[in-house]
Amino acid sequence: MADGRALAPGDGFGEALVLSEPLSFWGGVDPSTGRIIDARHPQLGASVVGRVLVLPSGRGSSSSSSVLAECVRAGVAPAALVLREPDPILALGAIVAAELYGTALPVVVLPDEAYAAIRTGDRVRVHAGDRAACVEADG
Amino acid sequence: MAGLVLDPIDERRLAGEEGEAPRLAMRVLVAMARATDAERFIDVEAAHVDACLYHGQVSLDFTERLASAGARVAVPTTLNVGVVDLLHPDRFRGDPAIGAAGRRLMERYVGMGCRPTFTCAPYQLPDRPRRGQHVAWAESNAIVFANSVLGARTARYGDFIDICAAITGRVPDAGLHRDEYRRGQVLFRLGPLPDRLESSDVLYPVLGHLIGSEAGSLVPVIEGLSAEPTEDHLKALGAGAASSGSVGLFHAVGMTPEAPTLQAAFGGAPPLRTVEVTLDRLVAARDELSTAAGPGIDAVSVGTPHASIAELEQLAALVDSASVHAGMALFVSTDRATLAEAEARGWVEALERAGATFVVDTCTYVTPILDARARVVMTNSAKWAYYAPGNLGVAVVFGSLEECVRSATLGRVWRDPDLWGDGG
């Protein structure tokens, strides 16, 4: 169990999908299918739906908050986001989806060591409160 | 951590005493303040809103919540691109339902008191932010330009929070609003480059792409640019760096306002890392921007971010008396005000006669404007090259402005053989 920092509150559970590079949701994830469409991304074609998405950070575009929130609305969002660096744009997508649709997509930041310990396929439980978060991975 | 302390006006808005729209805006702002460890809110003098670009039903759901509560912006607010060119609406080739929703979204923001600028380059409008002024700008290329070139202060705002800041005139005192986050972190040292490359527009988007890939979300400092870059060069650099990375501010030593010297750029601290920018690395970055080699292309797109008047002048000079090759398209994206100025100077008529198509209010990589049969598209923009393959499903050939124009007139990729020296 690792302690982290909550950027958006909620509880999430799912199989981890670890991205080897940052991902811009805008231009990088298709909000109708939840698949990664960034042609240059190493995990191109992977589905984020229902996964605990583990990624170093977002990238580039300031529209990623909309695309993440649209994924939530369309039912193709990840179960949780686990980041290595805080990303306010992704947190914002989760926060606005919560305001509009009453959903809770937790967004958390983990210290480097705990972040690096998560492997794709691990079953991961994420709990994020107002400030503190904990992440439990069962490898 | 001291925690977040609200001013009385923030408290009143949060309690709903100023109405439903400021309450919702403030709830989102407070959540963001917590996520960014802010201890207070500060005033902004202007905003640039990106939430007017339709990304699905969520865009309208959020906007209608605000608009139906009577939301009005509290500070001068410009708008980013939408999905429809409102001056040439027939150029939208997508699903008519999305076009209608996108148009409604754009109109909703105008209804809240935003100016119908619909440009990703608000720094090309009059009344742009001054050095040291706090603003709330969304749109990644605009953010990096405002911070780096104008020396204004904006954090990296995304959709939703941009309009929340415009409605309240308040933002969390965090990130790039604060001195400690504006200091350089990674040094990019340019080595000797071929003369032609150093004086070419093509250097800047490629350098930006390389810097974004290496810097991620850190603040890059560029040392060793020999020619004095124009604002258009810095715009292309920033747009590239904010696509391949999350760069919200860069310093160019001796050229941008907060970097009179290397030491000033780093705030007296040593760099975390130094990246030697050699010709080989630039060639590799350039090659990453192309997903096709040509020579076959179906269209050429320039003007991302929106072309300035100086860029339209160069374009008109490059096209000169030539014409776009039969069966090819040359798209030029710009904003309404720049289009009007270029019209007054006769460049629009000349370029249209040569076969160019102007696009305003939107851009060719965010909405279906290109012919659906287009498979390979050439561009001089690192940002366009970065996003178009995912957004449009096209392959990209990247080149200089001159290479783009000559390719459009020849109907196949033309390369300037001397541009990259021996780097090929």
Q: How confident is the model at residue B266 (pLDDT cuts 50, 70, 90)?
A: very high
Neighbours of A131 (CB within 10 A): 14
pLDDT of residue B2: 61
| pLDDT of A60 over the 70 cut | no
Calculate how close chain B gets to A64, using CA atoms only, in Å: 7
| pLDDT of A79 over the 80 cut | yes
Least-confidence region, from A56-60, B7-11, B262-266: A56-60
Q: How confident is the model at residue B423 (pLDDT cuts 50, 70, 90)?
A: low
> Are residues A17 and A48 in contact, defined by beta-carbon separation less than 8 angstroms?
yes
Nearest to A91 among B35, B162, B216 (CB): B35
Q: Do B36 and A69 touch (CB under 8 A)?
A: no
Query: Would you call A72 an interface residue with chain B, using a CB distance cutoff of 8 Å?
Result: yes
Q: Which residues contact A35 (CB under 8 A, 6 or more apart)?
A: A29, A45, A46, A47, A48
Calculate how close chain A gets to B195, using CA atoms only, in Å: 31
pTM: predicted TM-score of the whole model, two decimal places:
0.93
ipTM, two decimals:
0.93
Question: What is d(CA B41, CA B89) in angstroms, rounded to the nearest whole number?
Answer: 40
Q: How confident is the model at residue B265 (pLDDT cuts 50, 70, 90)?
A: very high
Strand, helix or coil for residue A3 = strand
Q: Do A70 and B57 touch (CB under 8 A)?
A: yes
pLDDT of residue B424: 59
Please state the length of chain B.
424
Question: What is d(CA B141, CA B235) in angstroms, rounded to the nearest whole number?
Answer: 7
> Are residues B371 and B307 in contact, defined by beta-carbon separation less than 8 angstroms?
no
| pLDDT of B1 over the 70 cut | no
pLDDT of residue A21: 93
pLDDT digits (tens, 9 = 90+) for B404-421: 999 999 999 999 999 998
Q: Do B35 and A72 touch (CB under 8 A)?
A: no
Residues in chain B with CB shorter than 8 Å from the CB of A37 are: 390
Number of independent structural domains in chain A = 1
Calculate how close chain A gets to B27, using CA atoms only, in Å: 9
Q: Do B51 and A92 touch (CB under 8 A)?
A: no
CATH code: domain B8-178 is: 3.30.499.10
The secondary structure element, H or E, covering residue B106 is helix B96-111
Q: What is the mean pLDDT of residues B158-171?
A: 96
| Residue A13: domain span | 2-138
Q: What is the mean pLDDT of residues A9-28?
A: 95
B321-328: long-range contacts (C-beta < 8 A, 24 or more apart)? B322/B354, B322/B409, B323/B354, B323/B355, B323/B409, B324/B354, B324/B355, B324/B356, B324/B408, B324/B409, B325/B408, B325/B409, B325/B410, B325/B411, B326/B411, B327/B411, B328/B297, B328/B298, B328/B299, B328/B300, B328/B355, B328/B408, B328/B411
Residues in chain B with CB shorter than 8 Å from the CB of A65 are: 158-161
Nearest to B55 among A56, A66, A99 (CB): A66
Strand, helix or coil for residue B25 = helix
Q: Do A69 and B291 touch (CB under 8 A)?
A: no
| Percent over 90 (pLDDT), chain B | 92
Q: What is the mean pLDDT of residues A21-34?
A: 93
pLDDT of residue B121: 98
pLDDT of residue B217: 85
Residues in chain B with CB shorter than 8 Å from the CB of A59 are: 243-246
pLDDT of residue B287: 97
Q: Domain coordinates of chain B in residue numbers?
A: 8-178, 183-288, 299-417
Query: Would you call A131 an interface residue with chain B, using a CB distance cutoff of 8 Å?
Result: yes
Q: Do A72 and B242 touch (CB under 8 A)?
A: no
Residues in chain A with CB shorter than 8 Å from the CB of B246 are: 22, 57-60, 87
Q: What is the mean pLDDT of residues B223-249?
A: 94
Q: Largest Cα–Cα distance in chain B?
A: 67
Q: Largest Cα–Cα distance in chain A?
A: 36
Least-confidence region, from A5-19, A83-97, B295-309: A83-97
Q: Do A100 and B58 touch (CB under 8 A)?
A: yes
Q: Do B246 and A99 touch (CB under 8 A)?
A: no
Query: Would you call A2 an interface residue with chain B, using a CB distance cutoff of 8 Å?
Result: no
End-to-end Cα spacing for chain A:
12
Q: What is the mean pLDDT of residues B249-272?
A: 97
In terms of pLDDT, which residue wins out, B314 or B35?
Answer: B314
**Average pLDDT value over all residues in chain B:** 96
pLDDT of residue A88: 86
CATH of residue A56? 3.50.30.10
Top-tier CATH class for B299-417: alpha beta
Q: Do B244 and A60 touch (CB under 8 A)?
A: yes
Q: What is the mean pLDDT of residues B193-198?
A: 94
Calculate how close chain A gets to B315, using CA atoms only, in Å: 27
Residues in chain A with CB shorter than 8 Å from the CB of B143 are: 62
| pLDDT of B422 over the 80 cut | no
| Residue showing tokens 């650099």 | B237
Residues in chain A with CB shorter than 8 Å from the CB of B386 are: 27, 40, 60
Q: Which residue of A has its CA nearest to B58?
A: A70
The CA R_g of chain A, rounded to the nearest whole Å, is 13
